[in-house]
Amino acid sequence: MNNIIYLDAAASSLKPVSVIDAEMNFLRNSYSNAGRGVCARAGKVDEAVDSARKKVADFIGASSPKQIVFTSGTTDGMNRIAKIIDDPVCGKSLKSKTIMVSDLDHHSARLPFEVLSDSIGCKIILCPMDSSYNLSSSDIPRADVFVITAMSNVLGVAQDVASLISAAREKNPDVITVVDAAQYVVHEKIDVQKWDCDFLCFSAHKIGADTGLGVMYIKEPNRWIAPDKFGGGMVSRITGSAAIGNYSIQWEPVPAKFEAGTLPVTQIIGLPAAIDYIEKHRPNLELIKYLYDRLSKNENIQIITERDSSMFTFVPKNMHVLDFGVMAGTMGLCLRVGNMCASWIHNLLGLKGSVRISVGPWNSMTDIQKAAYIIEGIIK
Ligand SMILES: Cc1ncc(COP(=O)(O)O)c(C=O)c1O
């Protein structure tokens, strides 16, 4: 890998050969749009998209492929959910309702709901959290919407999503639960039926598939009447016209209703290979534990993750994190520095930023030892 040590899996995964091959083969030999053509070639692409959708449904334990909507990523999904669930025309306005978020949230998970709250007038409340950064189900407040970061991209703590949702439903059976699984999806098997969430999002690029593709799971897709995006592929019939009268528009059934415009077909073709790969190659937490044990002895390092976390995050005590990141980069060590689009947890910890190391299936103990050596050298 050009002599670099890539320890930034949580930002984006390197791509397995099987994903690259699937996309290359499609682009070279069988490219066509999906949901648009009637020739045999186009039909094969439609079948491949259907099959990828079914694969995703099985991957996250969904009961039907109709619950799987392709998006452009977690950010897109979370923004869309904040629009879909506030539907005043269909009598489902969130005005004056309570939205529960947490300080673990990524900007992509929380900002759409903060902005929604500002625009229509909702109350934002925080889910309580214990000293190990587990969201607490025992003293959870009543909420109408509950946004849950299943795994923080800074601390790597995996939440007990099923218990949190069950506790939230005890307080309000109608609470709408929205899970950001962008990090969790890499680390452990998801079971949306066990979790009983209403929505869940993840990005394909973090599990080894391509960029520009994400998944939005909707538990009851027919409950949400109004689509949030409009265009080709999501309309089944338009009758009449404004000029001749009798004008009516009928949406396609789900999931097409929520998939306006051309799908990222090539990325979808690569997705099943990425799912096969990640199911066999979850991150090796022993590598993180080794780094934790080795660097916790270093007096110039303040570690902010727990030992059994799925990533290793720290602050160099004697230099700025950005300077640290640049120096590490010049020595071939790729890692993430800054606030990682998670300002709230950094604010809570009183930090301007941190350094994160996250491992992928391609990393070995040799990578980690070299990384430790480079880190120790930079901060000594
Ligand atoms: C926890 C979490 N949520 C959301 C996102 C946003 O994902 P994307 O940029 O792929 O939309 C990320 C990306 O790092 C993340 O780690």
Q: Where are the beta strands (DSSP E) in the chain?
A: 5-6, 68-71, 98-101, 123-126, 145-149, 176-180, 199-203, 214-218, 235-241, 245-251, 301-303, 312-316, 333-334, 336-338, 354-357
Q: Which two tokens stand for residue 274?
A: 């990425």
- Residues 48, 41: Cα–Cα separation, whole Å: 11
- Residues 78, 283: Cα–Cα separation, whole Å: 25
Strand partners, 98: 123
Burial class (CB in 10 A: 0-12, 13-18, 19+), 215: buried
Whether the pTM exceeds 0.95: the reply is yes
Strand partners, 338: 354
Please tell me the predicted confidence (pLDDT) of residue 198: 98
Please tell me the predicted confidence (pLDDT) of residue 246: 77
Please tell me the predicted confidence (pLDDT) of residue 36: 83
Please tell me the predicted confidence (pLDDT) of residue 1: 52
Q: Could you tell me which CATH class the domain 5-14+283-379 is placed in?
A: alpha beta
**Ligand 1 test: best mutation among 311, 341, 356, most atoms within 8 Å of CB?**
341
**Ligand 1 test: best mutation among 75, 199, 216, 337, most atoms within 8 Å of CB?**
75
Q: Which two tokens stand for residue 369?
A: 């030892």
Please tell me the predicted confidence (pLDDT) of residue 219: 98
Q: Do the domains spanning 5-14+283-379 and 32-279 agree at the CATH topology level?
A: no
DSSP H or E stretch at residue 184: helix 184-187
Please tell me the predicted confidence (pLDDT) of residue 242: 72
* DSSP letter (8 states) at residue 104: T
Q: CATH topology for 32-279?
A: Aspartate Aminotransferase; domain 2 (3.40.640)
Give the side-chain half-sphere CA count within 13 A for 270. Answer: 24
Domain boundaries, the chain: 5-14+283-379, 32-279
DSSP H or E stretch at residue 330: helix 321-330
**pLDDT < 50 positions in the chain:** none
- Residues 99, 113: Cα–Cα separation, whole Å: 8
Contacts of 89 (CB under 8 A, 6+ apart): 226
- The CA 299 to ligand 1 mean position distance, Å, reads 32
